[in-house]
Each structure stands twice: as structure tokens, then as C-alpha cells.
Structure 1
Amino acid sequence: MTDKHPPKQPPKKPEPDAKPAYTPLAWSYPFSPATKEGATPDTTDPMTYMKVLATAEDGFYPLGASGIWHGGIHFGQKTGEALKQDDGVRAIATGEVVAYRLDSEYPTLTYQDQRHALYSRGFVLIRHTLQLPPAPKKTEPAPAPANAPAGSPPSGGNATPPAPAPTPAPASSGPPPGETLTFFSLYMHTLDWKTYKAALDQPKTANADPKAPQLKPAPYWEVDRSYRALKPNKQDLPKRKPIDPGALGDDSSPQQQGPDDVLPEPVAGVRVRIIPNGKLLGLLPEGTELTVNEADNGGRKGWAKITKIIKGDPVGPVVGQSPDVQLKWGYVFVSELAPIPQSGPVDKVVVLKKPYPVKAGDVVAHIGQYQRYREAKPTPPLPTRPLLHLEIFAGPDLPAFITKSQARAQELPETDKPFLEILKGAKLVTKAPDPDYTLEQTGLKLVPVSDPKSRWVKVQPKTVKMPAEQPEPPAPAGKGKHKPKPAKKPEPIETSTGSPFWVDSSLGLINQMTTAPVKGWKDFPLKVSQAEGPGTDFSNVLRIIDLDKEGPQSLAREDKDASGKAKRWWNVTVGTKDGGTRQGWVREQDHPKVKLCSPWDWPGFELVDNSSTTMVDMFKRYLFVAGLAMGEDQDNFKPSADALATSDLIQKLEQAIDVNHDGKVTAAELADAQKTKWLAEAISHMVVKSESEWGGNMGKWEDILPHMKLVPWKWQNEMDRIKKLQWWEEVQSIDAKILPKEPKPWHFHPIGLIGNFKQSCNCIDTDKFIEEYKKQHSEDFGWYDNPGSKKSTLKPLNSESEQNLRQLINGIRKYFIDGSGGCDIPKISYMLATARVECYDWINGVFFGPRAEGISYEKAEIDYGVGQTARRADYARKMGNAADGDGFKYRGRGLVQITWKGKYSTFESLLNVPLVDHPEMACEWDVALRIMVIGMTQGTFTGSSLKDFINESTTNYHDARQIINGFDKADIIAGYAKKFEEILKESKS
């Protein structure tokens, strides 16, 4: 050992700021679907929402009921029957509130005939940033030294020392130019302050309505927020000093110490600490008014630092004590405070001095009122017509961004392509060729050698021979000798005969013995060259997740190619221009006008420039095509109608949805088209450049007035309302940098844009979750060999377990969260806890992966069998096991260890997967995930489901064990579930 110290190194130069890690933008639909008849529609499918929009009274995109351009969509009373609109409208993507307007109370429009209509001028404007995913890194081989031949390493001490690496240039603090798009979401006609105030004051009344909306002041309102202390805690009582009995006398007791020693009642209020969870400084009695700095949370979520005590006198932590002098600067838990209702500025446009950040799915507003003339009353109007206008728009840089996005999409891996795009004109393979091969020999087993989850499966014929059974070993003589184990049942010997061929899996021949000649195909039966007939009449963008839900009969996989990949085919249904449908097969690759797509390809989207079309010409066209023009106006308006018929917008709409081919696209046709997938897709993927109705010159509306011949005063009154609704110029006058310079942006259909990018739930930050779990895996979680045993410390989470955990979370997101379970943290926590225990491979130290129960054939036959060694043969038969070997064949597998033949058969029917013949498929990730989610949510294992023990009124992790296996390890799993719940809450994105 040496005492020499290494030479001191010069201090390192600070590293340049690293480029921020890329984070995909999180998305959300504005409302959640309501549960109907116990079932919740697919919350990720755009058609769930398009069908609801078809029921709206008006406000269709991109033409309103009056035939005039309309840049958003409406949610009202009819859509509220299918959506949870009372919960509030949610931010459609992560972003920041930049401006808003709050009405003190709804304005009233008074028409000339003295009828009155309520409406809301309130709005919220959120700015979002969409960033392209980074280009995949290209690995380049290291250059060989200049004096060495290619491929030769440098030799010993004669090697030329390498030149010093150049100093890296400082990394950019943001994405490269042109790789981000700023866009906006607008929530128009929001709730007024009067309604907020009434709801906030209601709990003070004796007869509060429990069904009334639970409204809270919006956190972005510019107001000096103050709070009122609640009473979640009480002062502690002081500890009594020991009393000398002799000093009290024979007739005295501690209770007879005199009135001066009687303590006051403990004060209820909010505890104040020097730091979050730190030393207790005192309490703020109930009703104390204060302000806090929520930005200073002391490093712990949910806490805030007191900035001022407005009203009230703090008390000490113990009855009779004074509060600590530091209390006025202490920390309180925000959920123990009630905000004091305050509106801040009303009846004016507010541009926030500091934009307020919001996450996708945050409630940002509530639906307000908008009454038309038909709802107007001669008496003071009541709020009878809820309405929200939702709009998304971007500036003039959108076309260039999409071009760059589509180029980036070509660089992305196939795994990042969740769509199948079928372009207009693509031809389908509508019929498979007749079989060209016949297996004449009977008595052969058809063993699959390609993926059995396919319409056509490649099979290898095999002979099956059973070897002779071994004789039972003689019982040993002598006392105390153990009876020998019975001879193991011999396994059948299968021998290939002849060449493999393809069969139709719908015939049920896979893994069966042939009893008659079998027809099939020498090669995979589908070929792109077989595509024939007319091409598709519409472009179709299909989600792979939806195609896969159709099951094996609509999915076909070829034999694996040299790269080991089996190309997929799907049987799809597309629309025809006569209103019918056409069905056929398409291949994921090398099929003309068919390809897999990334959201960054913008599949199906079309840009339409409508900015030069005037409002009055659109109105004339509407009156003409609807036959509403009066007298000679019908002829006078024809030139406008004919000119617009050749405009980009009307032509695109006619091609997409003019089913009766009369050249007269109407709002009624737009509404009806939203019910049909390919028509709804055409509408929702139009991106239209047109002047915003919330800004610009009022002249475009005034030009319509001469054509309102029956009731011109009504339109004059409406123009007064339109003027009061506008806000674009007001925002620009306060901060000219927020909006595009001209109020002629590109408009998106909100559902089309969200549906393109929202592929899955984003409520959990998977990377953050895994990193936090890794810190706790070894000691905090640890492992219990048995209930009641001491917790043992584990080695750090290995890479295979980490990969499994990532796949498990992604699967729960796909099949539970997006499958209608929502981001229900307690239920997700219990799934993770169950999987951690049930699928731990202790031999290899691997967690969270599907596995088969690691027991011997003999032990499985004892525990689950029906033979001579079975310990509960009757129960095994009840659970579906019937023959020798079934105990081992149907032992526990997957993520929750599905057991018994009867259960394998149940899930075979539910999943359309041949689990009875191939129980090993229960260990395939996709199958294992679906078994876990369906079994735990629908009660398929024991009759009990997650909702029985984890719901709005209770979270009983202990008793939830009955979903799987009685109360076995219930305490252990409950403990893990609580830990997972904490991590999930901390790592919510």
C-alpha cells in the first residue's frame, strides 16, 4: 500500500447547459364520456366524441347552421347527455393561460321587440407549444488512426497519441429553429362570476343542494388570493404534573384541585410548522384569514408559506401556551384552507402578467350561457341554454411546421407509428385465392409453426406416438420405508411428416388431429398483386389498437422474413361514395397507397385556405342552396354560390360528405356525417385558414345586413352582441406578441387534432415513476417470504425487471386507463402490488414479468391435479381439470398466475386466444396484461372486482386480495399498494 497521493487536478470547467430532455406534449379531450348502462365508451377514440357532436343543436365545423364559416365546435345541452360537462371543461393540452375574461354577470341582449336573451362573453385563452420529436441518433464508426491500415488497432508504444477532442459547443437551450409550433385553445362562453359566487356561498346555507356543481375560483384569475382556516386539527392538552397523594389529604383526589386549574377547551384550527412536517409552531384558529405564497412550498407538495395573517389571533400548539414568534412566517397545508371567494377584474379582457401553467386535463372553466332569439323571453331571462364554443388555432408558420414534421416522421422507428393510413384510390384484396394444396393423410396433428393469432396459420403435420408406460416401481419392504413416487406419465412423441402448409384458422384445425383431407395453401394466401376492383373513395386513418381489437379473424401474419418480422395484414372496412361500404385486406408495407403512420405524418389532414372568401358571399351561398333567398335574390345570389362552389373549402366538403351529390353541403349534412367514421374523419382533419370571428373588421358582418330583409333589426341586434364578444384586438393592444399579427389563423377541428396526438394516457410520468421506484425497491419495498416474516433487503432492481416494469405500466395504461378505467391511482397501485408478488421469479431475481409457476410436474399434480396423488381432486374437477397432467398444464401463469383449465377456457373466450391448447400463451405480455386487467376489473377470477373494494367511498387494499386468492398475503400486498400509490401520486405528469 502506498501513501502517495495523486497529483491535484485543475478544477474542471463548468459543463455547458445541457439541452432540455424532449417531453411529448400531453393531451386531453375537453370532457369525459358519461357512463351509460354500466359501460363507458372508449375514452381515446375520436369517434366517441364525434358521434356526440352530431347531436349538437348548432356550431358545426367548418360551417355553422347559417352556412357561414365557423371555426370551432359547440357543447351544449344535448351533448351534455353523453359527456360529463358539469365537471368543467378541461385543458386540451399542457400549456399556459395567457388571457381571460370573466363576466360579473351574464350580459342581456335586448332585441327590438323587447325579448331578452342571456349570453356569456367570458373566455379562457391557453397557449401551447408542440415540439417535434428529436431525430434518432445516427451511430458512426470511430475513424481509424491516420497511420494505420483500416481495421488495424494502433500498436503499443509506437501508436500516435490521439489529438485532443475539440471543446464541444454550448448546447442550445431549446429545440432547433422551426421544430416548435405555437398554437392556442379557446374556451368561449364561460360561466359568470355571479354563478360562481352563488355556488361558493351555498355551503353556508341550511339547505345546500348536494348535486350542485362544486365550483372553485379559477387559479389563474388575477386576484390577491386570501384563505380562511378550517378546523382539521386541535391543540394538544398539556401533560399533567405528577401529584403527591399525601399533599392532597385523605379526602382529596387529582380531580379536586380547584377551579383555577381547569383548562379551556382545545382550539380547533390549522397547524403551522417551521418547515413542512417540521416543528409545530402553533395553530391558526378556524376562521383566521391569511395569504400564502404557494410558490414557496418548502420543497413539499401541498404546502405553502404564510405571507400575511389578515384577521385572527394564532394560538400555541398546546392549550394555555402562546404561539411561537416564528409562526407568522411558517408553513401550512393548503388543503386545510378554504379560499375566500374573490373574482379579481371582471367585464374586461385580462392578459396575465405571468402566464399561468396548466396541465392537460386540468379544469380551466365551466360552461356558460348563450341564448339565441328563439330562446329569448319578454320576461327577465333565466339561464336555460348552456353552451361552450371550443376552438383551436395556429399562426402562419403552421404549413412549414407540418412539412418539417412529415420529414421527421420518415426518420422515426416503426414502433412509433400507431396509425394505418389508406389513401384515396388504394385497392383492397377482397378475396383470398382458392386452396392449392390438400393434405390427404389423416391421423396427423397440425402443429402451428407461425403465429397462431392469425386468420391463416402455417402448420407442420406431425405423427403422434405414445411410448409405453413405465411399470410402477415395487413398494419397498420394511417399516418406515416411503412409498416411491409414481412413474411419470410419458410425453407423446411428435415427428414431422411432409412439408408445412397454410390453413384457415377459422376452421378450428390448429393442434387437432386430422380426420379427413385438409385443404390449404402452399404459400401464404394473400398477395398485394391480388388487389383489384375500384380504389377506395375516401382516405382512411385507422388506429392499430382498434384493428387489433377485431381479433385473429381480421388479422393475418405472413411467415417471418430474413429480419425476423412477420408482415401484418388487416381486414378493413372503408366507405364508398354511394354511402355503402367495401371490405378487404391491406398489407402494412409495400401495398400501394397504404402505409403505417406516425402522428407526425399528419395522416389524413388537409390544409384549406379560405381566407379570401367573404362572409357575405358564404351567406348568399347558404340562402341560395337552402332556397331561402327571396324573389329576385335567388337569381342574384347564384353567382356567389357558383363562385364558392369552386372554392377550396366547399370543394373539399363536397368531396367528403355531399352524399346526395347535389352540390349543396348543408349544416344538416355536416351533423349527420359525424356519425360515420370516414366522413367524420374527413371533416375533423380539415385545417382551415379563415378570419376569426373574435376579431377583425366588423364590416364583414355589416355586409350581411342588406340581405336580412324580413327582420333586419334582429341582425342589427346580433351585430351588437358580436362586437361585445370580440377580444382579439384587446389582447393585442395589451401584448402584441401573444397572438398572430392578423386575425386570420389556421383553425383545427379540436377532436381531429387531439385524436391525432393523444394516443394514450399521460397521467403517469413513466420515467419518473421508475426512477423513484428503483430508489425504494431494495429496502422500502424489500421482500417478505411469508406473512409475518421479517422483511429482507433485495439487490438493486436489475435491468430485466426495470424493462418489465416499464412494459407493465404501458400495458396498464393501454388496457385499463385508456380502456375506460381512467387514471384511477388506487386501482393501478393495487395491480402493480399484485404483480410484484404474483410474478416474482425468485430463482433469477426478476420482478414484474409474466411467468409460469415454478413447480415440478409432481407438485403441480398434487396441488391442482385429479389423479391418485391429488390432494383436492374434487375441487380440481370443479375448476375444469379433467385428465392426468392437467394440474401441470394449467398451473399458474402470467402476471396474476391464472390457474385451472376452466379459467384458461374462460379467458380463451374473452380474448379470442387459444389458451386451452396453448396455455403457455398466458405468459405472452399482451395476453397476460389483458387477463390481469379484465380479471381484476370484471371479477372474472373469483367474482369480486376492484370496484368492490376500491371506489369513491373506500380504499380497502387488504380485502381487495379476494379478487385473486382469498386473503393469502393480503397484508403484504396491501402494504405494497400503499407505497405504489405514494409513488404514482408523486410522479403524475
Structure 2
Amino acid sequence: MAEHKPINWAYPFPSKEPNSNPLQLMTHMANAKGGYYPTGENGLWHGGVHFDEGTAAFFDQSSVRCIADGEVIAYRIDERYPVSEFTDEIPRVKRAPFSTGFVLVKHSLQPPPLKNADDSITDGQTPPSLTLYSLYMHLLDWAGYQAQPDLPRPAFWETKRYTVNTRKDGLSVRAGPSKNTTKLSELCKGAEITIGETEGGFSKLISIISGTAQPALAADDEGQLPGYVSTSLLKPHSEPTEYDKVVVLQNGLPIKAGDLISHPGLYQNHDSAAQHMVHVELFSCDDVPAFIARSRAWASRLPDDQKTLLKVYKGASKLIAHREGIGAENPRKISNEGSQIGVDLIIPQTLLDGLPASHKIQVTVPPESGTPASTTSWWRLDGLFADENGSPIDGWLAEQELITTRHSPWEWEGFQCIEETGAPVEKLAYAFNARGLLSTDEQHNYRAQISKADGGPIVTLARLYDIADTDKDGVLTSAEIQAALTRPWHAQVLGQLVAKYESEWFWNKGKWDELDPLLAEEPGKPNLVWEAEKQRIEKLSWWQELEAPHGASDGNAWHFHPTATVSAFLYSRRLIDVEQFIEEYSSQHEQFMANTPAFSQVSKGNLRTILELINEYYYANPEKANLFELAYMFATARHEAYYFPSGEFFSSNPEVGAIPYFNKYDPLLATTHEHRIRAIENGNTQEGDGYRYRGRGLVHLTWKNNYREAKEHFGIDFVSQPDKAAEPKHSVPIMIWGMKKGIFTGRKLSHYINSAGVDYVEARRIINGSDQQQLIAGYAIKFESILRKTSSAKESFDQ
């Protein structure tokens, strides 16, 4: 596999709308009660976005998910939310809780490698890279977890105890780290224990916190119990290392896109009710403009299939209104009358792929008089565009060469970098003036500050795109920014701003004290609400505590819009549309095998994991993905990874037979000379190797020699830790690599699937008898039909 490994992306909160698209998600952010990007209601910079009660109707905000693969480098959890005391006009003291809990994740962003004509990676050329940080702020306190004991906990917390999580009976305690060793005792289901080092699929038993063991186990002189237990049958219970302090993880703990970060915490401002809210932020301390320049240069050398963004230009294209009867047999024509598009917009390919079949048409013009054949794609797009007057328009868009263009996300098309100019007092004075909150004297006193902010980069850029100043009064207000976010073309422009300024999480007392006169209710008299707010800002800060261990700067960073950035990269790398594939497979499930259990949620989850890992593999290894090869892989996995006792499909723990079957190929336990010789020839030379190197994974990796070869290829010690081959993150790459190389049958998959023909039956002959060959071939044909609807994999072999 290539050393370069791109990161996966996910939204922090999934959409509640099954057919939502990234541009809709951007407009939903306008419903937040506050916390817009790139500025807040007070006119000051705001580097993140808020998910609060206003966005809850559109997003599943039950838990916070990591937006990209990376490593957790720091976190803080409140034991109980701190409380600010504000005195209002009655006077009355308002106690306002506010979560300071956060998680900080470090990521590495890097384009895919360049490829030679033979698909090998070009030597000596390293893609540019950027270190990114994602921040998740205002998270649930420890009291909240204690009040909800069944609430899932983040994996990066320290695991302090485990519960025996067997389905029926208890959990065996073995003398050694293997099922083949003597059984010492049995822990009851639900027993709480602590464990030590893990060896293979077993962990050393240390102590029993609650529950029983029959027979009882005696501790040694150091207080540790004897024996080992199966790790997979334990449910971990984790807790934070400390409370109310920043926990800095020197080495970082790996985390995947979509993994649990935490749950929304409680936050209350002085002038509003308490609400559950999360602030999500994405920033970098690197030289972002330099990285973008290098990334654009690199993208110019990437293949066309990396260009997953369609750009539509203001004044160049038109939308042709839909009428009854329009379809593949009666398509729209470019010569038809339409409305001129009055805005620029970049559309992810997956938005187009996700349109209903009735909303996408391809029209092919046959060759004529020496002119080659041509194909035009038509997309029916509703709710995305406006005409030159700003009025929304719907209809059919033709993708035309020279009129529309294709781009890679690594081109950062439309993104612009801007740097802070001036001080917070200038922006606040400008915002107050725009809202009519300054007296005549204050307008005069702060005239210079207002004038500076009026010429600042965000205002200038906003006017350039006519984003927000809708009433043309020369003043930019937060209400106008919120209104702009409801329109896809304006929301996208705002989402493409990358702004550099001092982070709000960097405590700078002088910066905030400078605002005191402007916020004073009376000259020379402190504003008590503002004084309490400054105390809150200081308590929320954390930047300085990470500066030394992680080389953070003096608080200045480049900020990206989280949702816009995730959308650009999340929608650029999917070979298979995961949810559409699952939907198609579910609808055809009964056709795959008669008298099988229903397609359960467990099986759906297994299939979803496999699909996502296949997407990851082919993105990391941009080789030609052939539809027929994928169909055969799915058919094989469907057959070999069926866990009969539970009825789980695509299981990583399939039923593989009783121990006598494994002994069949054990050098000492085999009953025939032929089996003993075959075992030795394949590397099984020690007693127990038959069971130790049994078939695991989606396409059973078997024999010690094959485990050794997988170790050499992937750099993971499958020989000493063979159970790792059953983990989906390893079994999916093993399946693809093994089939393409011929590990399982001695012949590469391309021997049976190539330009000369597709022979699923012969591909199985060395493995199964005729009945099974026909069964799996039938599966493959059904998977072909699903992949044609849900995948960009090619059918031809000469790409």
C-alpha cells in the first residue's frame, strides 16, 4: 500500500434529512441562535460555527462526532459546569452555567500522490501537507455522564474498568491467552473487572470489582488474579484523567472521522436562556496561503477523475425550466429558452450523483461528418441558483465544456485568505454603530475606529460579492450576514473565507480591557455584566496551556469554515455511495438467498463499515476500480462472512467450523499424511498452527505463510497477532490486496475478470464445489446491478 494515507471526513452532526446535500447543510447554519462564521453578532471575529437549539431541527445533535481522522491531543471536562453571576436591572442575580469542556484533535491534510503510467507512485515527489486542528467546545460535564450511566463515553478517556458483556453465559478465565488453554474459572455476566496487558485476543485479568467467579480465584502476592479473558467480550468503561483541567496528551491518541467526541454541553449567556450548544472550529497555525498555492500546483497534475467539483459561472450558463414529460426520451436542449444564472456556485459531484434518476439525463450526439460523438450531462437543480436580480430560479443545467468547469478540491477553487487588520475595539464600535447603539458623542469619539473597521478585509470582501449589504447603506450587520447564509451562493462564499486573527481561546487581558469604555453604561463606571463576561472568557481559554507541548503560536491562526471544508473533501473521495448501496442491497436482500434472516441493523452496520473502508482503500490507492472485480469481492464476502449463529451478514467474526476442522491442517494433529504435508508446505509447522492461522476476515486469510506475507505487505504483525486479520480495518485491505495478487487461489483476480470476459464461476472453482460456485456467481451478478446504480467504478479494462 502507498505510504500516503488520506484522511476520512465526517460531519460533526449528521443531517436529519436523508437526501440532504452539502449546500443545504450550509444554509441550515443560518438557523443557529448565534455563532456564525466568520464574525459574530458583536462584529468580532468568530472562527467556528454553533450547533444549538436553532439548528436542532436539521441535525441529529445527540452526540458530537470527530470531523476527520487524526489524534486527540488535549481535552478538558468540567466536573460540574462553572457558573457566572450576572446582575440584571431589577436588580437580581442570574446564575448562568457555561461549559468549558473541549476536545482538540490534530489532523494532517495532504493531497493524493502523483501516479506514473503503470499506476506506481512517482518517486521523489512528496505532496504538500497542512497541519489542521479541529476544536469541539462547550461539551457535557462529568455530572451529566453520571446522571446518564448508559451514555457512550469517548474512547480517548482513560479506561479504568470493564464489564463482562457476554450474550448468554459467563466469561471463561483461561490459564493462558488462548481458547485452547485450561479453563480456571468463569466470570458471571455483568461482572466488573480490571485487566492488564493484551496478548492476541486475550487480556490478563487483574481484579474483580463486582460480580463473582466460579470457582473463586485466589490473588497472588501482588494482589493480581490469575488467568486471561477474551477482550472482545468486555465492555470498556472510561473516565477522564482529571476534571476542570486541560489534559495534554503528549503522544496523541488516534481517532477516526465519525468517532465519538462527547455530547453537547449547557451554555447560557447573560441575556438568554440556557441551551445545549457546541462550538465547532477548524484552524491551522501553518502558512496556509503558501500551502494553498502548493496544493493548487499539485492539483494541476492530478488525473481528471479527481475533479469532483463542478463550477457554474455567473452570466455563462442558464437554467431551463422543467416541464411535464421531460426525461431521457425527451431531454431539454441547449437552444431552449431559460433564465440566465446570476451567481457563481461550486457543486460537489456527489450532490449530482445523489439526484433522483428523473433529475439527471445524459444526451449523446452520434458522430457526423467527421465530428466525434459527444455526451452532455443535464442536471435538474432546484433551490440552488438565483438570476441576475437575486431571485431564486430552478430548472435544468447543461454541463458544457468552456461554460462550466471541473475542479479538484485540492485546487481550493473560490477560497480566499484574509488577515486581521485593526483591533477588537474597532470592530465592536463598527458593529454598535451599524446597529444604532452609539450616541452622537460616542459616534464622534469612535469615528476613527469605525472608519478603520469599515475598510477592513471582511467588509471589503463582503461588498465585493454583494453578500450582505442588502440595503446598500454601506453598513454590514450581523443580521445581514445571517440572511446571506440562507442563500447557497452567498453561504458558499462566506464558507470559502480563510481568516487569520488571534484566537478567542488565547487569553489576552489587554485586548478585552480595551473594550471597557465602549461597553460602560456610564463614563467611568464599570459594566458589571462585561466584567463577569471577561472572567468567563478567561476561564474558557486554553491556548497557552498547549503552547509548549505542541508548538502552538502566540494565538494567531488561520480559521476555516468547518462545514464548508468537510463538504469539499467528504464529497470528493467516494467510490461507492454508502447509503444508496445499503438501501439497494436491503431492497434486494431476499433475492440473494432464500430462507435467510432479515437484514438486521447489525448487518447494516457491518456492511456500512466495509463500504467506507473500501472507499478509503481505493482513495489511498488510486488504482483502477473495476465494477466486476468489486462485484466478485462483495459476493465472496457475502458468502464467507455470514455468521450463522447470529444471522449477521458481512461479519468480521463468521462461523468457521469446529476445532477438529482446524486440526485437519495442523502438522501434529492432522489425521492424514496429505493434510500434514499441506500444512507444513503452507507454514503451519507447530502444534496449534491449524487453529492459530485459521481463516479470518471477509475472504478468509488462511495458513501461516499467508499471514506472514500480509505482515510483510501491510507492516502489521499478523503472525504474532493473527486476530487482527479479522478486524474490518485490516480485513478489507487484505481482501482487495489478496484477490488482486492471488493470495487465496494462487491466481490473480484479473486472470478470471479481464477484457476477454468475466468468469465468476471459474474464480471459485479452486475453493468451492459446483453448487457453491453457481451460488456465488449469482451473488456477483446481483452486486453488479447494485454497483451500477451506486458506484463510479468502471466497467472497461482499458482505462
SS in 1 for 2:31: coil
Aligned with 1:227 (options 162, 165, 174): 162
Aligned with 2:445 (options 636, 640, 648): 636
| CA pair 924-731 structure 1, distance change in 2 beyond 3 A | closer
Partner of 1:56: 32
Aligned with 2:297 (options 366, 384, 407): 407
Alignment of 1:835-984 (within 5 A): 845-846=759-760, 926=788
**AA matched with 1:413:** P
Task: Tell me by how many angstroms 1:29 deviates.
Answer: 0.6
| CA pair 396-324 structure 1, distance change in 2 beyond 3 A | closer
Cα pair 2:419 2:499 within 8 Å, conserved: yes
Structure 1 residues 332-378: Cα deviation after superposition (integer angstroms, max 9, x where no partner): 33544463x644211111101331111110111111111111247xx
Check if 1:692 corresponds to 2:487: no
Q: Distance in 1 between matches of 2:67 and 2:779?
A: 40
Partner of 2:110: 131
Structure 1 residues 842-867: Cα deviation after superposition (integer angstroms, max 9, x where no partner): x9633899xxxxxxxxxxxxxxxxxx
Check if 1:749 corresponds to 2:684: no
**AA matched with 2:135:** L
Task: Tell me by how many angstroms 1:418 deviates.
Answer: 2.1
Check if 1:309 corresponds to 2:288: no
Q: Distance in 1 between matches of 2:639 and 2:179?
A: 20
Q: Distance in 1 between matches of 2:429 and 2:790?
A: 60
Unaligned runs of 5+ in 1: 1-18, 35-39, 141-167, 201-213, 235-267, 377-383, 433-452, 458-503, 507-524, 784-795, 798-839, 850-891, 898-921, 931-989
Aligned with 2:312 (options 422, 446, 459): 422
**AA matched with 2:106:** R
Aligned with 2:58 (options 67, 79, 82): 82
| CA pair 429-288 structure 1, distance change in 2 beyond 3 A | closer
Aligned with 2:545 (options 721, 727, 730): 730
Structure 1 residues 949-971: Cα deviation after superposition (integer angstroms, max 9, x where no partner): xxxxxxxxxxxxxxxxxxxxxxx
Task: Tell me by how many angstroms 1:85 deviates.
Answer: 1.4
Q: Distance in 2 between matches of 1:91 and 1:275?
A: 34
Q: Distance in 1 between matches of 2:109 and 2:366?
A: 38
Identity %: 27
| CA pair 751-220 structure 1, distance change in 2 beyond 3 A | same
Check if 1:670 corresponds to 2:481: yes
Partner of 1:333: 231
Cα pair 2:139 2:266 within 8 Å, conserved: yes
**AA matched with 2:527:** P
Check if 1:602 corresponds to 2:396: no
Structure 1 residues 919-978: Cα deviation after superposition (integer angstroms, max 9, x where no partner): xxx979645989xxxxxxxxxxxxxxxxxxxxxxxxxxxxxxxxxxxxxxxxxxxxxxxx
SS in 2 for 1:351: strand
Cα pair 1:123 1:189 within 8 Å, conserved: yes
TM-score, normalization by structure 2: 0.66
Task: Tell me by how many angstroms 1:48 deviates.
Answer: 3.8
Structure 1 residues 294-352: Cα deviation after superposition (integer angstroms, max 9, x where no partner): 7x351xxxx45125225579745xx699999997241333544463x644211111101
Cα pair 2:430 2:450 within 8 Å, conserved: yes
Structure 1 residues 191-215: Cα deviation after superposition (integer angstroms, max 9, x where no partner): 1111112222xxxxxxxxxxxxx42
**AA matched with 2:413:** P
Q: How many residues align?
A: 600
Q: Distance in 2 between matches of 1:847 and 1:651?
A: 66
TM-score, normalization by structure 1: 0.54
**Which has the higher Rg, Structure 1 or Structure 2?**
1
Check if 1:101 corresponds to 2:83: no
Task: Tell me by how many angstroms 1:52 deviates.
Answer: 3.0
Cα pair 1:61 1:70 within 8 Å, conserved: yes
Structure 1 residues 141-175: Cα deviation after superposition (integer angstroms, max 9, x where no partner): xxxxxxxxxxxxxxxxxxxxxxxxxxx99988xx8
Q: Distance in 1 between matches of 2:162 and 2:786?
A: 54
Partner of 1:180: 129
Partner of 1:791: none
Q: Distance in 1 between matches of 2:210 and 2:785?
A: 63
Task: Tell me by how many angstroms 1:753 deviates.
Answer: 0.4
Task: Tell me by how many angstroms 1:692 deviates.
Answer: 0.5
Aligned with 2:265 (options 349, 368, 374): 368
Task: Tell me by how many angstroms 1:605 deviates.
Answer: 1.9
Q: Distance in 1 between matches of 2:186 and 2:141?
A: 36
Cα pair 1:306 1:329 within 8 Å, conserved: yes
Partner of 1:216: 152
Q: Distance in 2 between matches of 1:426 and 1:306?
A: 69
Q: Distance in 2 between matches of 1:324 and 1:227?
A: 21
Q: Distance in 2 between matches of 1:399 and 1:426?
A: 29
Q: Distance in 2 between matches of 1:775 and 1:545?
A: 22
Structure 1 residues 404-430: Cα deviation after superposition (integer angstroms, max 9, x where no partner): 22222222233222221124x442257
Structure 1 residues 14-65: Cα deviation after superposition (integer angstroms, max 9, x where no partner): xxxxx8443331111111223xxxxx3325x223433432221111111111
Q: Distance in 1 between matches of 2:358 and 2:291?
A: 39
Cα pair 2:131 2:286 within 8 Å, conserved: no
Cα pair 2:166 2:233 within 8 Å, conserved: no
| CA pair 196-589 structure 1, distance change in 2 beyond 3 A | same
SS in 2 for 1:225: strand
Partner of 1:284: 187
Task: Tell me by how many angstroms 1:780 deviates.
Answer: 6.2
Q: Distance in 2 between matches of 1:596 and 1:421?
A: 6
Task: Tell me by how many angstroms 1:526 deviates.
Answer: 3.8
Cα pair 1:191 1:365 within 8 Å, conserved: yes
SS in 2 for 1:665: coil
Aligned with 2:533 (options 718, 723, 735): 718
Structure 1 residues 479-525: Cα deviation after superposition (integer angstroms, max 9, x where no partner): xxxxxxxxxxxxxxxxxxxxxxxxx547xxxxxxxxxxxxxxxxxx6
**AA matched with 1:633:** E
Cα pair 1:233 1:269 within 8 Å, conserved: no
Cα pair 1:284 1:312 within 8 Å, conserved: no
Check if 1:23 corresponds to 2:5: yes
**AA matched with 2:97:** L
Q: Distance in 2 between matches of 1:590 and 1:66?
A: 44
Alignment of 1:263-278 (within 5 A): 271-272=173-174, 274-275=176-177, 277-278=179-180
| CA pair 92-533 structure 1, distance change in 2 beyond 3 A | closer
Cα pair 2:13 2:60 within 8 Å, conserved: yes
Cα pair 2:204 2:227 within 8 Å, conserved: yes
Q: Distance in 1 between matches of 2:400 and 2:331?
A: 23
Q: Distance in 2 between matches of 1:689 and 1:925?
A: 44
Q: Distance in 2 between matches of 1:347 and 1:196?
A: 15
Task: Tell me by how many angstroms 1:543 deviates.
Answer: 2.7
Task: Tell me by how many angstroms 1:104 deviates.
Answer: 1.2
**AA matched with 1:348:** K
Task: Tell me by how many angstroms 1:644 deviates.
Answer: 2.2
Q: Distance in 2 between matches of 1:407 and 1:420?
A: 19
Cα pair 2:632 2:760 within 8 Å, conserved: no
SS in 2 for 1:125: strand
Structure 1 residues 696-728: Cα deviation after superposition (integer angstroms, max 9, x where no partner): 522211111111132712111100110111000
Q: Distance in 2 between matches of 1:193 and 1:297?
A: 32
Cα pair 1:288 1:309 within 8 Å, conserved: no
Check if 1:543 corresponds to 2:348: yes
Check if 1:557 corresponds to 2:388: no
Q: Distance in 1 between matches of 2:320 and 2:57?
A: 43
Task: Tell me by how many angstroms 1:532 deviates.
Answer: 11
Partner of 1:704: 515
Partner of 1:972: none
Q: Distance in 1 between matches of 2:14 and 2:637?
A: 39
| CA pair 687-104 structure 1, distance change in 2 beyond 3 A | same
| CA pair 371-26 structure 1, distance change in 2 beyond 3 A | same
Structure 1 residues 214-267: Cα deviation after superposition (integer angstroms, max 9, x where no partner): 42343222x461235467555xxxxxxxxxxxxxxxxxxxxxxxxxxxxxxxxx
Q: Distance in 2 between matches of 1:714 and 1:121?
A: 19
